[in-house]
Structure 1
Amino acid sequence: MKPWREVAVPHQDVLEGTFQQSEFAADITAVNTGKASREYQDAGAFFDRTFITEGMALLLTQVAQRLAGRGGEPVVQLQTAFGGGKTHTMLAVYHLATRKCALSDLAGIPALVDRAGLMDVPQARVAVLDGTAHAPGQPWKRGSQTVKTLWGEIAWQLGGADAFALVAEADATGTSPGKDVLRELLERHAPCVVLIDELVAYIRQFPESQAISGGSYDSNLSFVQALTEAVKLVPRAIVLASLPESDLEAGSQRGVAALRALEKTFGRVQALWKPVATEEAFEIVRRRLFEPVRDEKAREAVCRAFADAYIAEGVKLPADTQERRYYDRLLHAYPIHPEVFDRLYEDWTTIDGFQRTRGVLKLMAKVIFRLWKDDNKDLLIMPGSLPLHDGSSRNELTYYLPAGWDAVIERDIDGDRAETTALENKEPRFGQVGAARRIARTVFLGSAPSSVASKVAARGLDRAHIILGCLQPGQASSVYADALGRLADRLHYLNASGDKGQDATRFWFDTRANLRREMEDRKRRFDDRTEVRGKIAEVLKKTVGNATSFDGVHVFIPHGDVPDDTALRLIVLPPETWYAREEHRLAFEAVLEIIGKNGAKPRYRSNRLIFLAPDHGAMSRLSDATRVALAWSSIVEDVKEGRLNIDLLQKNQAEKELKSAEDALPRVVRECYKWLLCPMQDAPTDPKPGVEAFALNTTGGSIGSEIERVCADNELVITTWSPIHLRAKLKELYWRNGQSATSAAGFFEDTLRYLYMPRLKSRDVLAQAIRAGAASKDFFGTAYGDTDGKFEGFAFGGGNVVFDDTLLLIEPQAAQAYEDANRAVPTPAAPAVATTTSGVAEAPSTYNPNGATSSPSPVTPVATPAAAKPKTFYGSAEVPPATAKMRLVQIAEEIVSVLTSDPNATVRLVVEISAEFPDGASDGVKRAVSENARSLGLKSADWE
């Protein structure tokens, strides 16, 4: 496919950059006086470059019929928006009436003459009244004749001195000549055409209730009314008058009043003219700016490629691009993309002062001149092609906009120092197609008018129209979509409504820096050591505080504020003590300092602390995300307090951005705080402790549950402990050098202090291991004290164990030996009595000191009655209050449990409590004891 410059060649004046002068030197007065350029002065050249629109064709047909005396409207009012083609249409009428050549030499005119049913159109006299050519209070010269009024000017142009004589008196006195005089004037010089342009600009200059040389306000309105009435009576005369459409074009309040009066006057006899349609503008601009396309196949190939590419993209582009007629629009507009015309005619023409035809022509002429000079190779001239870096092209657009747009274009849209250029230089996939600048130009063209025009329904362009303004065949729309997302986050003057990721979002530029620029400025205000650090701590408390394995979570606090007790604690290190695999000195030193110090004192229970450290690589992102959240929070707060004045749309945007930043911050915190640091020591003989690092998974569940998982998988914190491991640790460190019994409470205290000891979650973990191990003889024996080598409450296998400060854990062999040594001696059996065969018992042989053995005398057996069994047991004991718990347990296990082992026994326990208070019991003690006694159901609980 060929680029546009190889298929459509601009006219010479466009290529030379002289279009502006030739175009704007052309007005109806310049043509009437012979001072216009050739393309406007010569009838043939004019029609060669003129596309006859539907409205112009209808009007020229009316003029031809009227001049031939075959009907047609006598008065036509041309009232359209500023730059709607009125002057160009009047020039067409002027050349049709005053031509110096045959009708066949005027392009497009023979077909209109045929449509009018005529063989020819007679040449006619033309009078041109330009309201800006003369001042109503200053007479002007026509040869030797002084002319003071509009009616004098019409008479002179139609018939010279003879015609002027008809209205000479009225011209001298400044009074309207009347319908009859004007009728005679028109009849004498028919066929004739009166072209009236800028009439409001002339009439509004008359002072209130005061006559001047040009007449008065009322006399001029009377003249217009008389003229319209007179021309109806002359079959071969026609009046064309142009009136502004808007009050703004009419000027002052006086001008608006003149416009209303003229509208009423012309309204009685006028025939309204249809303005130029957008589709017709395609051909107008193409004819005026480009030579005829000679390679039709190349044009069709390009347009077909665009249409096919749009269909392939489907819903990513506007719906009308999926229709066949869009291919026809591409053909008609070639080499300019239809989207350029749509934006200019739908958006820019809503700006008061932007001319529908001349404004577009002037702009596109400058654009084409610059693109041609820059050797632009686009297939079509698209919104994304506009060379806004070029001062001439940019000024043509910013002229109609409020002040401040130059800075926006240079900073955000186009130019060597623009953000878009920097992004393309950084990202080759954007730079290859100029994606960032093309997007920014497209958004500017489609959104800048909304900063000044109130008629724009919805501000900005949606994503589909932005891509339409950039995408060429063979390119991927995803590149432009990605670039748009990057620009929305980066540009200072680009605004977006709604979620930037949604297709319904609209984007627009504004001269006010968007809230993102405000946010970026505020980001730099926050101090790292106070505000940023405080915000991170706040988020960490919410995200890490759910770690149920720990009794306390401490975020960014000095080591003196971390209690030195039995609680298991997670210490979150501050951002400046970061960790990295290749550089861990800062984090490790911080850990070792905290486990060694508790303020000015040494820390004893060092084995109760685990640490969470930030990753060095993620610190900058966390800092930036925190600053973004702080900045949006300050903006929202300032809006609420009235310190920042923004519109409702921006207020909603700020609140939405704040929520997004707050929602993202916990995720960023988790990605940064990903290292669990655990102090450790392999053996008591190690010279100094070390630190081991464990990586946390930053995805999945909560950070608290992830910390618990890593602690459990690596046995950093033990929640369930086997008696096997307890016995092994006791053998390793305690049951040696003749020591066979160890205090359980002392063992637990050592697990709190020494890093080579297991880190138990709580005291209950050890208690459960002791209870499980005490149930058998495989692990240890238990006792509740040792007095003179005798274990109090000794048990070895099967005993119920209470873990208190007196509990001892005894090495299994020592416990077995102690049990064997203290087993109760059995009562000896009665001596056996020998019997003879006669059944007479014999006494045992006795030792005789004389050396002879005396035989026992026979005895007669005697029946001995059996001993009676005891039936009642009563016992009492003094229980020291200090060891009441242990002694009562011993009594229950060693006495009560034995008594109740007989299923026929009835055991009754009575606990008697006696307490004396020499100074009297306090109210608190009395109340607590009475309530507890009542709740426990004591049989009696009396105070005396």
Structure 2
Amino acid sequence: MTLKPWREIAVPHEDVLKGTFQQAEFAADLSRVHEGTATPEYQNPALFFQRTFITEGMRLLLDSVVKRLSGKGGDPVIQLQTAFGGGKTHTMLAVYHLAKGDAPACDLPGVPVILDAAGVTELPRARVAVLDGIKSSPNQPVVRDGQIIRTLWGDMAWQLGKAEGYALVADADASGTSPGKAVLETLLRRYAPCVILIDELVAYVRQFEEGKTLTGGSFDSNLSFIQALTEALKAVPTAVLLAALPESDKEAGSQRGVKALEALAHYFGRVQALWKPVATEEAFEIVRRRLFSSINDKPAAETVCRAFADYYTANSEDFPRETQEGRYFDRLIHAYPIHPEVFDRLYEDWSSLDNFQRTRGVLKLMAKVIHRLWKDNDKDPLIMPGSLPLQDADTRNEVIYYLPPGWDPVVERDVDGERAETTDIENRDPRLGSVQACRRAARAIFLGSAPSTANQMVRGIELERVALGAAQPGQPVGIYKDALRRLGDRLHYLNSGNNRFWFDTRPNLRREMEERKRRFQDKEDVFPTIRDRVQKTIAGGVFGGIHIFTAGSDVPDDWQLRLVVLPPDAAFTHSGRCLAIERATEILKHRGDQPRFKQNRLIFLAADYDSVSRLKDQVRSKLAWQSIVNDIKELKLNLDQFQSRQAGKSLEDANEALRRMIRETYKWLLAPMQEARPGKGLSEIQWEHFQVNPGAPNLSQEIERVLKENELLITEWAPIHLATVLKNWFWKDDVKEANALNVWQQTCRQLYLPRLKDDTVFQRTMAAGAESRDFFGFAQGKEDGRYVGFSYGKRTSPIMDSSLLLIEPVTAAGYAEAQRAADEAARPMPTEAVPGTTGTSGAPPRVEDTSKPTYPAGGTASQSVKKRFYGSIELDPILAKKQFADLVDEVVMQFTSRPGVKVKIAIEIQAEASTGFDDGLQRVVKENCNVLKFKNAEFETGE
């Protein structure tokens, strides 16, 4: 159901509608009305009562005045002592117009009811004296019809009885001394019924210095006058006095003002009747009458109010408890078209400000609000806290006027306006922008929290009250909760805690954090922090070494499986240039200036390109919060307890968010591979990439799972797979055996071979295939064409060293058969004589020494033990670095890996130049040779 906008139901007064009102028009001026110079809305009795809502307090007061002037009782003295802007002057104006009788009672809305209740048919016209403490001056006499008047009592007597009345107090006026009670009683009786209205009395009396007499008398003479006047009024049954006194010492002004207030309150207290202040519910009607001329469609207004009441009931958990009560609907009706929450915040919170007048301040502010909303063609069903057009300069200035300095940037940057963060968020997020969720929530928070002070124990407004000030029927309340979460991340002056939100002129800790974030640089601060976090996240697991952001020259080129974690500036992406693959390829091919040989021992972990910027930002946030917490501990930052706790909690949240962000960012495993194509050699290096699950409990286990499932790493290898590798790559042509150590080492070097976890996997595979005759045989060496320590089809645990051979199964089977035949041939003849033979029977057979190894026929054992090796090789000067590395791996390490073997390597360098070597070259070479500790390094003539 579409609700009718307020602008189609309630019509503002012309001056509000057009914006032609003046701020001063909202300030009732008793003196100007008495002089006949006020605006029509205050000067004209009928118009005044038409726009005046008679509150309960005003009704009781007018009833007392009517009875007093009619001689039917009533209070002789009424003190109007309420807060600043509480409607004192407005009430005295009502008494003024009622007593003057310039308009018949029937033309004054609300007055006939009061007369009927008092039993008065017609109210007699009374004389009225108005004494204005602001307008009167203690040292400046006034002249009325040629008569100089100096004091308050002189002015009162002149207003009541002109020259004749003044004559009664002339001497007292001339001398500045108070007239006696009897004189004042005579004056009042002579001119009764009469009303005396005294406004701003404290402001007048506080101008007298003690012990000093001015034209208007002295401090004591004026207090004596008030005392005598109040006593005289009791004796005159048709005379009444209304006096307005400030409620607080601060409104009284100086110390003399406070002293005057105390004295006057004492004298009035003896005979006074206190006036009941305006209730909040009554203020609804006061404001509505002053700002709106009529409600054109009351059924539509009730429909709107009912929709809001039902909306609050249906979402009871999201709104304050009072909205669930049936009388909240009545409050909506009374306040329409303004939401009751606007009045509650203004009357309960803003009226606590020293310079905010309760009714007058609300009128001035709401007049500007209504004018701007009308001009902007606002379509909201009610004028709510979230509706306040704080982007409008007039409205914003009116609000900020009552607040301490420093609120302008708060509104402009965080709450409302083209440059506000709220507007930017809504422009970027159409879901929030469609209902202005951010701006409405921020306006509601501002209205409810701006008048607060830093000394409050509980600051801000609850989430439920933010929703009450912003949400409208038909809208999901959750959208405002989402908006608040976004605001908490972006706004600089918004604070929150314990489910409450408030703005403050001091930038919040988030603003401090945002400013500190700029201090931290990628290389010096951010990357080291990421490295530490990654290091804590990844345990060893299947890897012999984990290298985080390590330079390629520092990643060892050995037989251990290693995980290389690339830095954030080498991130992985599916599209465009992939810096991760470029960096990984460089590390894979080179170890510093040297080539890398064990390429199949490296696996890479890379960051996701799209997540890196968010990760770096989160790291900066964490570092910023950490610096704030450190400064708090070292007393370098002065914060209250709430902000200190908030900083600690924010640091915890930042750490937890960083932990999640590390997992979400470092999620790509990169594994190099090559294809070996018959007749075409090796393909270029290719990179396989697989994504790890960021939500897995343990990153190390997750990496291991992904490697195993995608066969990037083998932890258990079946013998048949080893046999297949041997058949495809090692048993070729006439070579039917392969060195087991070389096979293992080749799996570490070649990217087209399987990647085994370690040599233990290789040894277990050999042991598992030893009993079978389908895969391979073993030998501990081969000498003169014969296998040493041959084994085939027997359980064994072969020791993988440089001598262990893996023999092709057909060859091993043939060798085993030949060995069996040789063994049978070498077996001794039976002891029985063979028929048909000659010779001595019974000769013992020859028994071979079984302690010596036996070989197949034709074989002889080695007659000597080889104890020394010598070899020489010429290296290509251009490829010498690579060739020498191969030499060390393939030959030298065969010796150095055996205990007790001493190895000596000598390098001989010869260089010749037909034109000779220049002096510079000779000097450089000699210096370098000295540093490298050459035994001999000489240049010769060559003759």
Instruction: Specify the TM-score bucket, using the shorter chain as the normaliser.
Output: 0.7 to 0.9
Aligned partner letter, 2:507: A
**Does the 8 A contact of 1:25 with 1:36 survive in 2?**
no
Query: Does residue 829 of the first structure (1) align with residue 830 of the second (2)?
Result: yes
1:588 offset after TM fit, Å? 2.2
The normalised TM-score by structure 1 is 0.85
Q: Distance in 1 between matches of 2:371 and 2:790?
A: 108
What residue number does 1:859 align with?
Answer: none
Aligned partner letter, 1:314: S
1:20 offset after TM fit, Å? 2.6
**Does the 8 A contact of 2:831 with 2:844 survive in 1?**
no
What residue number does 1:701 align with?
Answer: 697
Give the alignment of 1:568-579 within 5 angstroms. 568-579=561-572
**Does the 8 A contact of 2:154 with 2:166 survive in 1?**
yes
What residue number does 1:539 align with?
Answer: 533
What residue number does 2:912 align with?
Answer: none
Q: Please give the secondary structure, in 2, of the residue aligned with 1:674.
A: strand
What residue number does 1:47 align with?
Answer: 49
Q: Distance in 1 between matches of 2:121 and 2:660?
A: 84
Structure 2 residue aligned with 1:659, among 642, 646, 652? 652
Give the alignment of 1:296-445 within 5 angstroms. 296-445=298-447
Give the alignment of 1:231-270 within 5 angstroms. 231-270=233-272
1:513 offset after TM fit, Å? 2.2
What residue number does 1:682 align with?
Answer: 675
Q: Distance in 2 between matches of 1:417 and 1:739?
A: 81
Q: Distance in 2 between matches of 1:643 and 1:288?
A: 53
- Listed one character per residue, the Cα deviations across residues 841-890 of structure 1 (whole Å, up to 9, x for unaligned) are xxx55789xxxxxxxxxxxxx9x9999xxxxx999xxxxxx99xxxxxxx
What residue number does 2:761 align with?
Answer: 765
Aligned partner letter, 2:675: D
Structure 1 residue aligned with 2:104, among 91, 98, 102? 102
Q: Distance in 1 between matches of 2:667 and 2:140?
A: 88
What residue number does 1:146 align with?
Answer: 148
**Does the 8 A contact of 1:39 with 1:46 survive in 2?**
yes
Larger Rg: 1
Q: Distance in 1 between matches of 2:709 and 2:851?
A: 56
Structure 2 residue aligned with 1:812, among 809, 812, 823? 809
What residue number does 1:472 align with?
Answer: 472
Aligned partner letter, 2:748: L
- Listed one character per residue, the Cα deviations across residues 676-734 of structure 1 (whole Å, up to 9, x for unaligned) are 11111222830543322222233333322221111101221111111111222122222
Aligned partner letter, 1:591: A
Aligned partner letter, 1:829: P
Structure 2 residue aligned with 1:745, among 735, 738, 741? 741
Q: Distance in 2 between matches of 1:399 and 1:53?
A: 29
Q: Distance in 2 between matches of 1:145 and 1:790?
A: 150
- Listed one character per residue, the Cα deviations across residues 726-749 of structure 1 (whole Å, up to 9, x for unaligned) are 222122222233333333222222
Task: Return 5+ residue gaps in structure 2 as ranges.
Answer: 853-864, 867-943
- Listed one character per residue, the Cα deviations across residues 174-217 of structure 1 (whole Å, up to 9, x for unaligned) are 22212222222212222111111111111111112222221111
1:78 offset after TM fit, Å? 0.9
Structure 1 window deviating more from structure 2 (119-128 vs 72-81): it is 119-128
What residue number does 1:630 align with?
Answer: 623
**Does the 8 A contact of 1:577 with 1:613 survive in 2?**
yes
What residue number does 2:889 align with?
Answer: none
What residue number does 2:509 align with?
Answer: 515
Structure 1 window deviating more from structure 2 (343-352 vs 814-823): it is 814-823
- Listed one character per residue, the Cα deviations across residues 769-815 of structure 1 (whole Å, up to 9, x for unaligned) are 12211233332222333343443333223343242424332332333
TM-aligned CA distance change 1:344 to 1:585, over 3 Å:
closer
1:106 offset after TM fit, Å? 1.5
Q: Please give the secondary structure, in 2, of the residue aligned with 1:328.
A: helix
Q: Distance in 2 between matches of 1:690 and 1:16?
A: 75
What residue number does 1:494 align with?
Answer: 494
Q: Please give the secondary structure, in 1, of the residue aligned with 2:315.
A: helix
Q: Please give the secondary structure, in 2, of the residue aligned with 1:291.
A: strand
**Does the 8 A contact of 1:127 with 1:157 survive in 2?**
yes
**Does the 8 A contact of 1:533 with 1:575 survive in 2?**
yes
Query: Does residue 588 of the first structure (1) align with residue 590 of the second (2)?
Result: no
What residue number does 1:928 align with?
Answer: none
Q: Distance in 1 between matches of 2:88 and 2:286?
A: 14
Q: CA RMSD in A?
A: 2.6
Task: Return 5+ residue gaps in structure 1 as ranges.
Answer: 499-504, 834-843, 849-861, 868-872, 876-881, 884-944
Aligned partner letter, 1:540: V
Q: Distance in 1 between matches of 2:373 and 2:710?
A: 68
Q: Distance in 1 between matches of 2:573 and 2:109?
A: 80
What residue number does 2:595 align with?
Answer: 602
**Does the 8 A contact of 2:675 with 2:683 survive in 1?**
no
What residue number does 1:891 align with?
Answer: none
Q: Distance in 2 between matches of 1:845 and 1:383?
A: 132
Q: Distance in 1 between matches of 2:144 and 2:242?
A: 23
1:589 offset after TM fit, Å? 2.4
Q: Distance in 1 between matches of 2:284 and 2:57?
A: 15
What residue number does 1:285 align with?
Answer: 287
Aligned partner letter, 2:719: P
What residue number does 2:857 align with?
Answer: none
What residue number does 1:551 align with?
Answer: 544
1:169 offset after TM fit, Å? 1.6
Q: Distance in 1 between matches of 2:609 and 2:228?
A: 90
What residue number does 2:275 align with?
Answer: 273
TM-aligned CA distance change 1:204 to 1:33, over 3 Å:
same
Structure 1 window deviating more from structure 2 (424-433 vs 172-181): it is 424-433
Aligned partner letter, 1:739: V
Aligned partner letter, 1:815: A
- Listed one character per residue, the Cα deviations across residues 308-359 of structure 1 (whole Å, up to 9, x for unaligned) are 2222222111121122111111111111111111111011001001001111
Give the alignment of 1:135-174 within 5 angstroms. 135-174=137-176
1:623 offset after TM fit, Å? 2.2
Aligned residues with identical type, % of pairs: 58
What residue number does 2:781 align with?
Answer: 785
Aligned partner letter, 2:667: K
- Listed one character per residue, the Cα deviations across residues 418-458 of structure 1 (whole Å, up to 9, x for unaligned) are 22222333332333333222222222111111148x6x663
**Does the 8 A contact of 2:178 with 2:224 survive in 1?**
yes
Aligned partner letter, 1:691: W
**Does the 8 A contact of 1:25 with 1:37 survive in 2?**
no
Q: Distance in 2 between matches of 1:516 and 1:21?
A: 39
Q: Distance in 1 between matches of 2:763 and 2:494?
A: 66
- Listed one character per residue, the Cα deviations across residues 250-281 of structure 1 (whole Å, up to 9, x for unaligned) are 11122112111222222222211110000000
The normalised TM-score by structure 2 is 0.85
Q: Distance in 2 between matches of 1:583 and 1:49?
A: 73
1:79 offset after TM fit, Å? 0.8
How many residues are treated as equivalent by the alignment?
840
Q: Distance in 2 between matches of 1:356 and 1:335?
A: 19
TM-aligned CA distance change 1:718 to 1:115, over 3 Å:
same
Q: Distance in 1 between matches of 2:277 and 2:837?
A: 157
Structure 1 window deviating more from structure 2 (230-239 vs 550-559): it is 230-239
What residue number does 1:726 align with?
Answer: 722
**Does the 8 A contact of 2:23 with 2:364 survive in 1?**
no
TM-aligned CA distance change 1:739 to 1:21, over 3 Å:
closer
Aligned partner letter, 1:695: Q
- Listed one character per residue, the Cα deviations across residues 494-549 of structure 1 (whole Å, up to 9, x for unaligned) are 22224xxxxxx212222222222222233333222222222221221122x22511
TM-aligned CA distance change 1:239 to 1:641, over 3 Å:
same
Q: Distance in 2 between matches of 1:819 and 1:416?
A: 93
What residue number does 2:208 align with?
Answer: 206
Q: Please give the secondary structure, in 2, of the residue aligned with 1:535.
A: helix
Q: Please give the secondary structure, in 2, of the residue aligned with 1:177.
A: coil
Q: Distance in 2 between matches of 1:846 and 1:95?
A: 167
